[in-house]
Amino acid sequence: MNVGFLDRRITLQQRGTAVNDFGEPSGAWTDLTTVWAALDNKSASSNVQMEQETSINRVTWRIRSSSTTRTVAASDRVKYGAEYYNILAIQEIGRKNELHLVTERVVSE
């Protein structure tokens, strides 16, 4: 991997396990780690669902593999600036060399 392409700063987030006063999961997100990443745009589409315009942007983030980043699961998400991307799949490239996070950002307008 050419580390010169890792020019974006992203934060990997996991859903917290805290509970509220009623014993229900609160669903708050906590930061796992902040890493350098490369952005690969895959596809973008727009359609109307239930009389609401929705745009979907699929992006693959390339990051270096580490003991922390290998704990990321498909239930986690990526924060980039003020945008949040849901993780659809995680691909390990090489032997603990790099990870590709296939993500999707859905925006309803």
| pLDDT, the chain, mean | 85
**Using an 8 Å Cβ cutoff, are 58 and 102 in contact?**
yes
Query: Is this prediction's pTM over 0.85?
Result: no
pLDDT of the residue at 44:
61
Q: Higher model confidence: residue 91 or residue 24?
A: 91
CA distance 15 to 77: 9
CA distance 6 to 61: 9
pLDDT digit string, tens, across residues 62-102: 999 999 999 999 999 999 999 999 999 999 998 888 999 99
**Using an 8 Å Cβ cutoff, are 99 and 92 in contact?**
yes
**Using an 8 Å Cβ cutoff, are 82 and 40 in contact?**
no
| Domains of the chain, first to last | 3-108 (2.40.10.270)
pLDDT of the residue at 63:
95
